[in-house]
Amino acid sequence: MRVLILGGDGYLGWPTAMYFSRKGHEVAVVDNFNKRKWEAEVDASPLIPLPSLQERIRIWKRLTGKKIQMFVGDLVHERFVARVFENFKPDAIIHYGEQPSAPFSMIGNERAVETQVNNVVGNLNVIFSMKRSSPNAHLIKLGTMGEYGTPNIDIEEGWITIRHKGRKDRLLFPKKPGSFYHLSKVHDSANLEFACRIWNLRVTDLNQGVVYGIETEETQMAPGLQTSFHYDDIFGTALNRFCVQAVAGLPITPYGKGGQKRGFLNIVDTLRCVELATQNPAKKGEFRVFNQFTEVFSVNELAEIVRDAAKKMGIDAKVKHVKNPRKEAEDHYYKPVHKELLKLGLKPHKLSEVLVESMMAKIIEHKDNIEDEIIMPRVVWEKKKT
Ligand code: USQ
C-alpha cells in the first residue's frame, strides 16, 4: 500500500512511519514542524533530545534500506495538500497532523483559535484533496475519546440509535468535550461524516484514549530512531508524566480528587490499531468510528500503579493531589464500548507494573534531562477573579 502519514514527525507519526515501512509499504510523511515550534514557545522539551525528521529518515534508510519520502509543508495550505496527494497518490492516509494538547488550546484566545484553525482547516483540506485526487483512498483520522466527555450513560462507538417521540434514527453519538482542543476533533468528525455522506469517501475516525509508552520495536532498532516523549504540563500525558515524576523524586500529581476515568492504551497498540484499520477499510460512503483504547483507569489508579512499580525499583514515590487546573468531573460514571478493534483482531498489551517498570528504567537513563520546573500545571481552564 501507499501510506501517507500526516504529522510524521510526532509522538505517534514517526513510529507509525517506521512500522509501515518495515512491513514493506511505500511510506511518505508530511510535517510542518509546528509542534517543535510550539514546544519551544511553551518551554517543553522532550525527555530525549530528538534528531530532525530528515536525520531519522536517513538513519532508517541506512539501517533497513527502506526509503521514507518526506513532504515539508502545512496542511492549512490547500495547494500544498493538493500537491502532496497528486504526487504521492495514497491508498491510505493516516492523519495525526494536528495540535494535540488540551492545555495548549486553553492558554487563551490566540491558542484556542490557532488550535481550531490548524486542526479543522487542515482536516478540511485533506477531505477536499481526497475528493479531487484520491476518492477511493481510505482516511484513518485520529480523533479522541475526549470528544464524548464523560456522559452519565454508556458511550457507544461513534453512533447511537435514538428513539424520540415514536420515531427513531441512527445519529452521531452526542459530544460534550472538555477543551477547545477536544472540540476541534468534534468539528473534524462532523466534517468527515458529512463528506462521506455527500462524496462517498471512506473514513475511519479513531477515537483514541490517552496513549502511554516510550518505545516501539522500531524505535529500539538504532540510536536516533526514538520518538518524542513529553512529561511537561502541556504536551505530557498522565501516565508518562507520573513515571517521570517518580523517577525525578517529585510527587505524582493527580489533579483534584483523581477520580477522573479515561481510556488508555500502549503506543504499540496504537500502531496495531491503525494497521487493522488499514487492512479492513471502511466502505465507500462509510464514516466508521472505533473507540481506540484497551483499559479504563482513574487517575488515582494510575498514580498507585506508578507508585507501586517505583517501590519495586527502590524509589519511594509519593502521591500528592494538586488543585485541578481543568474544569472536569472528578467522580463520574464511565462506560465506553470498545469492541470493533478487538473484533478485527487486536490483542491488547495491558498495563502492568512490569511495563511501568520498563518505562521507568528507560526514563532513568535520561534522568539528567528532566527539568523540574516544566512539570507542575501552568494553564488553568478558568482564571478566578481576585
Ligand atoms: N491529569 C492528572 N494529573 C496530571 C496530568 C493529567 O490528574 O499530572 C488528568 C487530567 O486532569 C485528565 C486526565 O488526567 O483528567 C487525562 O489528562 P491527559 O493530560 O493525560 O490527557 P488529555 O488532556 O485528555 O489529552 C491526551 C492527549 C490528547 C488525546 C487525549 C485522549 O494529549 O491528544 O486526544 O489524551 S482522551 O483523554 O481520551 O481524550
Residue 84 CA, ligand 1 centroid: distance in Å: 32
User: Does residue 384 or residue 5 have the better pLDDT?
Assistant: 5
Report the percent of the chain where pLDDT is more than 70. 99
**pLDDT confidence band for 292 (50 / 70 / 90):** very high
Q: Domains of the chain: which residue ranges?
A: 2-374
215 C-beta neighbours (distance < 10 Å), count = 17
Write out pLDDT tens, residues 154-164.
Answer: 999 999 999 99
Distance CA 215, CA 222 (A): 12
Residue 165 CA, ligand 1 centroid: distance in Å: 38
* Backbone region of residue 165 per phi and psi (left: phi > 0; alpha: psi in -120 to 50; beta: other values): left
| Dihedral (Cα; 13, 229, 33, 119), 10-degree rounding | 70
Mean pLDDT of all residues belonging to the chain: 97
Write out pLDDT tens, residues 131-142.
Answer: 999 999 999 999
Nearest CA owner, ligand 1 atom 14: 238
**Nearest ligand 1 atom, CA 326:** 11
Write out pLDDT tens, residues 182-232.
Answer: 999 999 999 999 999 999 999 999 999 999 999 999 999 999 999 999 999
pLDDT reported for residue 386 = 62
Q: What residues are labeled active site?
A: 144, 181, 185
Nearest CA owner, ligand 1 atom 6: 238
Nearest CA owner, ligand 1 atom 4: 238
**Nearest ligand 1 atom, CA 179:** 23
pLDDT reported for residue 76 = 98
**Nearest ligand 1 atom, CA 245:** 8
Write out pLDDT tens, residues 182-196.
Answer: 999 999 999 999 999
pLDDT surpasses 80 at 338: yes
84's CB contacts (< 8 A; 6+ apart) are 4, 28, 30, 71, 73, 129
Nearest CA owner, ligand 1 atom 5: 238
Q: How many helices (H) and strands (E) does the chain have?
A: 13, 12
Distance CA 114, CA 121 (A): 10
pLDDT reported for residue 129 = 98
pLDDT surpasses 80 at 102: yes
Residue 40 CA, ligand 1 centroid: distance in Å: 21
Q: Which fold has domain 2-374?
A: Rossmann fold (3.40.50)
Nearest CA owner, ligand 1 atom 8: 253
**Nearest ligand 1 atom, CA 252:** 8
Distance CA 356, CA 349 (A): 12
Residue 48 CA, ligand 1 centroid: distance in Å: 21
Residues contacting ligand 1 via CB (< 6 Å): 100-102, 144-146, 182, 208-210, 237-238, 241, 253-255, 260, 262-263, 299, 326, 328
